[in-house]
Chain A
Amino acid sequence: MPIRHSGLDRFIVVLNAIFLTLAVLIIVLPLIYVVIASFMDPSVLLSKGLSFNLSDWSLEGYIKILSNPAMIRGFGNSVLYSVSFAMLTVLVSICAGYALSDDRLKGKGFFMTLFIITMFFGGGLIPTYLLVKNLGLLDTVWAVIIPGAVNVWNIILSRTFFKGVPNEMKEAANVDGASEMRIFFSVVLPLSKPIVFVLALYAFVGQWNSYFDAMIYLDNPNLHPLQLVLRSILIQNQVDPGMISDQLAMAEMKRLSEIIKYAAIVVSSLPLIVMYPFFQKYFEKGVMVGSLK
């Protein structure tokens, strides 16, 4: 039986549609503004604001950004850090999650407690920094990749996933004489593509967007990831003079620095923008499984 709507109901439905549209606009408009502004001729943007006249558009911002060595190097570093971080954290979480999902593992409760405590207690910034320093990891890629590789949430997520793998499959393999190692590699791993995918996606995005660890652990600008390069352009307003040829005046510098900012935002977000619509459902899946514990 369909729900009958009273006058009040209809009013609320209309109001609901209006509010949701507003919410979408509030989210989308700033993003659209950035994208359009990145294609604008800088002097038009400064004097008139956005213009939809194609003759006011230019690719100057993108040309400057893409010819900037710091930006290119940052992009490369970010790809390297994000991919290796994702591989490491997925490997560690899948292995631990699988072991903890097995009821035959003795001391399971102890290990779970060991992990879960770290979700609520921590040593804090300074002791962590001193540890990384004492281990000799400062100014190495490892400082950015290793300390965050164990993520309790990821372990819980993969444990939940493996608990859903029917025990009969493992038992059947066992009867066939497969060792535990064999079972893991030939039976369990081929089944775990979905969880590998979800975890890898989260880890990649997280590392791609982070700047803090790199800021405190990496002094050498050659090692800086994209977010640190962006920080100096967007927030510290340090547009690399190399990006703008020397003889240009300050006014020109200011004119270009605006447009470079917009282009930098778009270029740095590009990988995620391209990935996002395809992978949205996997992100959602990750949140859901994680919340079920």
Chain B
Amino acid sequence: MVTKHKSSLLDYLKKYYFLYILLAPAVILTLIFKYGPMYGAIIAFKDFSPIKGIMGSEWVGLYNFEKFLSSPNFEVIFMNTLKLSFFGLILSFPIPILLALMLNQIRRAGVKKNIQLFLYAPNFISVVVVVGMLFIFLSPTGPINQFFTWLTGEPIMFMSRPEYFRSIYILSDIWTGAGWASIIYVAALANVDPELHNAANLDGANLLQRIRHIDLPTIRPIMAIVFILAAGGIMSIGFEKAYLMQTAMNLPTSEIIPTYVYKIGLQSGDYAYSAAVGLFNSIINIVLLITVNFTVKKLNEGEGLY
């Protein structure tokens, strides 16, 4: 019995081994570069010494986590991270939906295509260039300050004042990504049966009523999924942009967990502590993802991400 089973598995592999060969590179790379770091994350619970290696270093339990939670920086950095992502989510979530509803009103396909061409373009500009443009445009002698100087006689130090960091970060994010984020809603709206609109129109529904009762319900499931994913990523906001936008003067609001992890880890070499802070961040993220998914599912008649 056993031998028979074995030989049929052998036959199977003989016939289909090629499929496994095709799959192998992806599996191997995933195990090394995705699961490897997951294993490596246990240095967060160790007094890591590069000489002793991950296995050889002493266990220190939650020491590194306690160190972060009790550090004087904790509250500021944690709140900066939360505020930046929360306000970002609240402000940038509705705009792609609005854009899609507006684009959906354009009847001429050629015009619509051309508008979309422009709306998507900033998505392809690198983060270095976007931040570079912010520094140029918002510099004390830049074009925007030429206006403010004319108006008040004083330029505004946008990039070095902590109170402006969040607004600049979020508004420029919207500039870069809102058009591109609208694609998915545009596509969903294209599937709405025009007969529905005709029928509602005959019944005397105006444009706003039709948008509210036909268009919005159509994209609601997608809205839910996009929202869950965005909320689940709330703590993993872009390190890349925040780091580039940081100046010594705006640090009180621009220091967020990912930039802090980078600095204490790679610049100061405190690997274990830094890994613990990173892990803390991921755990909050997962908790948020699960909570938001659960809540949206409740509110959205059982439709969630999973």
Q: B-contacting residues of A (Cβ < 8 Å)?
A: 1, 3-6, 8-9, 12-13, 16, 19-20, 23-24, 26-28, 30-31, 33-34, 46, 49, 91-93, 95-96, 98-100, 102, 104-106, 111, 114-115, 118, 120-131, 146-150, 155, 179-181, 184, 205, 208-212, 216, 227, 230-231, 233-235, 258, 261-262, 265, 268-269, 272, 276-277, 280, 283-284, 287-288, 291
Looking at chain A's contact residues, the main secondary structure is helix
A128: chain B residues at CB < 8 Å are 33, 37, 40
Q: Are A126 and B29 in contact (CB under 8 A)?
A: no
Q: Return 20 A-B CB contacts under 8 Å, by A number.
A: A12-B207, A12-B208, A27-B118, A27-B121, A27-B122, A28-B118, A91-B25, A99-B23, A105-B20, A120-B232, A121-B282, A124-B275, A128-B33, A131-B37, A147-B33, A212-B239, A230-B129, A231-B244, A235-B132, A235-B244
Q: Are B20 and A99 in contact (CB under 8 A)?
A: yes
Known: A124-B261, A216-B266. A235 touches B135 (CB 8 A): yes
For the complex formed, measure the closest distance between the CB of B49 and the CB atoms of chain A, giving whole angstroms: 12
For the complex formed, measure the closest distance between the CB of A287 and the CB atoms of chain B, giving whole angstroms: 5
Q: Closest 4 A-B residue pairs measured CB to CB?
A: A123-B37, A234-B132, A127-B40, A124-B278
Report Cα–Cα, A262/B18, bound state, in Å.
52
Q: Are A126 and B278 in contact (CB under 8 A)?
A: yes
Question: By CB atoms of chain B within 10 A, which of A30, A49, A280 has the most?
Answer: A30
Residue in A1, A258, A288 whose beta carbon sits within 8 Å of that of B183 in the complex? A288
Known: A104-B16, A211-B126. A184 touches B22 (CB 8 A): yes
B275: chain A residues at CB < 8 Å are 124, 126-127
Q: Are B289 and A120 in contact (CB under 8 A)?
A: yes
Q: Are B128 and A235 in contact (CB under 8 A)?
A: yes
Q: Are A125 and B19 in contact (CB under 8 A)?
A: no
* Interface residue ranges of B19-39 to A (CB < 8 Å): 19-20, 22-23, 25-27, 29-30, 32-39
Q: Are B184 and A291 in contact (CB under 8 A)?
A: yes
For the complex formed, measure the closest distance between the CB of B33 and the CB atoms of chain A, giving whole angstroms: 4
Known: A9-B207, A131-B40. A125 touches B278 (CB 8 A): yes
Residue in B18, B121, B141, B202 whose beta carbon sits within 8 Å of that of A276 in the complex? B121
Count of A-B residue pairs with CB < 8 Å:
243
Question: By CB atoms of chain B within 10 A, which of A4, A30, A115, A123 has the most?
Answer: A123
Other 4 A-B pairs with CB < 8 A, given A127-B37, A234-B129: A92-B25, A124-B281, A125-B274, A126-B275
Report Cα–Cα, A100/B23, bound state, in Å.
8
Chain A residue nearest to B184 (CB atoms) is A291
* Interface residue ranges of B225-282 to A (CB < 8 Å): 232, 239-240, 244, 258, 261-262, 265-266, 271, 274-275, 278-279, 281-282
Q: Are B102 and A124 in contact (CB under 8 A)?
A: no
Q: A-contacting residues of B (Cβ < 8 Å)?
A: 12, 15-16, 18-20, 22-23, 25-27, 29-30, 32-41, 43, 99, 102-103, 105-106, 115-122, 124-129, 131-133, 135-137, 141, 143, 146, 175, 179-180, 183-184, 187, 197-198, 201-202, 206-208, 222, 232, 239-240, 244, 258, 261-262, 265-266, 271, 274-275, 278-279, 281-282, 286, 289
Report Cα–Cα, A46/B208, bound state, in Å.
48
Q: Are B115 and A20 in contact (CB under 8 A)?
A: yes
For the complex formed, measure the closest distance between the CB of B159 and the CB atoms of chain A, giving whole angstroms: 10
Residue in A19, A46, A121 whose beta carbon sits within 8 Å of that of B38 in the complex? A121
Known: A125-B261, A125-B278. A150 touches B33 (CB 8 A): yes
Residue in B127, B135, B281 whose beta carbon sits within 8 Å of that of A209 in the complex? B127
Known: A127-B43, A280-B120. A180 touches B19 (CB 8 A): yes
